[in-house]
Chain A
Amino acid sequence: MDITSNARLETTSVNQTDWEAIFHELLPKVFRFFAYRVGNRLVAEDLTAGTFERAWRRRTSYQHDMGAFSQWLFGIARNVAREHYRQRSDHLQLDETLPSTVGRQPENRIGRQEDYERLANLLAELPGRDQELIALKYGAEMTNREIAQVSGLSESNVGTILHRVVKKMQKQWEAADE
């Protein structure tokens, strides 16, 4: 998914820039990036708010280039996440990141919750860079090319690392099942 392809992000002038639409387009991506990165809904919300507050004042610099704005925003998000980890030695669990809409049946919900807790534990075990790439890929829904632009890695390198990390997580998952 192209994070800048949405028609609502297209702008032609200062007055026509729909910042509210842009906010609502990017907010879930940034929030989910943090949810995967730090593993706690409330912390993810705090970090998301901090990211937007830091970026919002200078948004007009990017009014003609929303791609650059998104890239810049996620650059800030990555820094915010790193600052968070520098400030906190404890790593919070993912038990509050469960989607509210998943598991419509009680028995499904229980099963799902167990799965999410296992996922949380797997993510928490990942090295910071791998965790960040997972967060950008599956949390922020970035393409490998976009991740490469944000992270400074090559596109092929991003793909290789992600493939390896997901395979590793799958193996660990299956090993726990046995």
Chain B
Amino acid sequence: MNDLFLYEARPSVRPEFSQTLWTRLTERKSIWNQLGQFIQTRRGFATALLVILVLVACAQQILNSTFHHVTDVNGISVYETHDFLNLDASEELRQYLNTPQFQSLDDAPRIPAEEAIDLSPYNFQQPSWLPDGLELVSQGHHSSSRFDFAFIAWYSEQRDTTLFLMMHQPNRSSLEEVHVFPGAWEVIDVNGTEVLVVRGKFELPFDSEEEARQYLEEGGGQIEQRWNHDAGVRLKWVYEGTHYELFEPFVQLPWEPDSEAYHIPEEDLLRIAASMIP
């Protein structure tokens, strides 16, 4: 036994294994959807999905505030307010703070599909156009007593962002309601379908994690949210009875700079929407 023997003893790669693996790598859907695992991106889809739920949950509580119903867009109710929102965000914030933030793909844990994601395929319109660099990373379904929606997520390494497309059937949930600062929205005709464009969003008013934790330590309670005009663009529309929502989820912590988190311009989001509306 010597060096030469150690080199000679190496097994060869089976051609069928090589071919099969190459096919799997080049068919992204089979990798990301059929593995039954939800691979995390740099900041973590768990966080992103949680944030979606937090925002929706907050929206439900917002209903009791001083909002003015201004319009309906094919079943999407739009409410405006000049005032800041009042709500108790303690439970959502607690979850938020306890969700680990991931710094790299290698360090990211994997979430078993059965925990929240049903990877069975869904029948809905998918975009035929996407900006360069976006890769499908997951699609799934979230179902709970409060919300039920399917989603597709793309990730762009170059843009360092995640794009979410949510879809659901009309179910009279808060998913069908939009709460906006006056003037921060517009209805645009896209291939004959009205698309609601929301520019910015309400955010929790913490400038640091310490502030947020202090709020929790003091028992939570009513809190004022503030509108951030730079917090990205969100599109909502209804096509053939299905509600669609396209946006970059708020994957950063509330007190981190928002402006750096949104990298897909409004015109690109509208073009994506247009590619889904024949």
Chain A interface secondary structure, helix, strand, loop or mixed? helix
- One of B17, B25, B32, B105 near A23 (C-beta < 8 A): B25
Q: Is the CB of A56 within 8 A of B25?
A: yes
- One of B12, B35, B39, B157 near A99 (C-beta < 8 A): B12
**Known contacts A119-B1, A166-B6, A169-B1; is-contact A101 B25 (Cβ 8 Å):** no
Residue of B whose beta carbon sits closest to that of A116? B9
- Measured between C-beta atoms, what is the minimum distance from A125 to chain B in Å? 14
Q: Is the CB of A119 within 8 A of B24?
A: no
Distance A96 CA – B85 CA, assembled complex (angstroms): 65
Which residues of chain B have C-beta atoms less than 8 A from A122's C-beta?
1
Which residues of chain A have C-beta atoms less than 8 A from B3's C-beta?
138, 166
Which residues of chain A have C-beta atoms less than 8 A from B137's C-beta?
57
**What are the interface flags for B7-24 relative to A under an 8 Å C-beta threshold, 1 for contact and 0 otherwise?**
111111110011001101
Residue A142 at the chain B interface, CB threshold 8 Å: no
Q: Is the CB of A170 within 8 A of B1?
A: yes
Q: How extensive is the interface on chain B, given as a class?
A: 20 to 34
Distance A156 CA – B43 CA, assembled complex (angstroms): 38
**What are the interface flags for A64-87 relative to B under an 8 Å C-beta threshold, 1 for contact and 0 otherwise?**
000000000001100100000000
Residue of A whose beta carbon sits closest to that of B32? A57
Distance A101 CA – B11 CA, assembled complex (angstroms): 9
Which residues of chain A have C-beta atoms less than 8 A from B135's C-beta?
57
Distance A54 CA – B32 CA, assembled complex (angstroms): 10
In the complex, which of the residues A54, A57, A99, A118 has the most CB atoms of chain B within 10 Å of its own CB atom? A57
Residue A18 at the chain B interface, CB threshold 8 Å: no
Q: Is the CB of A54 within 8 A of B105?
A: yes
**Known contacts A53-B31, A54-B105; is-contact A32 B18 (Cβ 8 Å):** no
- Measured between C-beta atoms, what is the minimum distance from A33 to chain B in Å? 9
Which residues of chain A have C-beta atoms less than 8 A from B5's C-beta?
115, 119
- Measured between C-beta atoms, what is the minimum distance from A150 to chain B in Å? 14
Distance A173 CA – B1 CA, assembled complex (angstroms): 7
Which residues of chain A have C-beta atoms less than 8 A from B10's C-beta?
32, 35-36, 99, 138-139
Interface residue ranges, A against B (CB under 8 Å): 20, 23-24, 27-28, 31-32, 35-36, 41, 44-45, 48-49, 52-54, 56-58, 60-61, 75-76, 79, 97-102, 115-116, 118-119, 122, 134, 137-139, 141, 166, 169-170, 173
Interface residue ranges, B against A (CB under 8 Å): 1-3, 5-14, 17-18, 21-22, 24-25, 28, 31-32, 35, 39, 105-106, 135, 137, 157-158
**Would you give 20 A-B contacts (Cβ < 8 Å), ordered by A?**
A27-B18, A28-B13, A31-B11, A31-B17, A32-B11, A35-B10, A45-B14, A56-B25, A56-B31, A57-B105, A57-B135, A60-B158, A97-B9, A97-B11, A99-B9, A100-B12, A115-B5, A119-B6, A137-B6, A138-B7
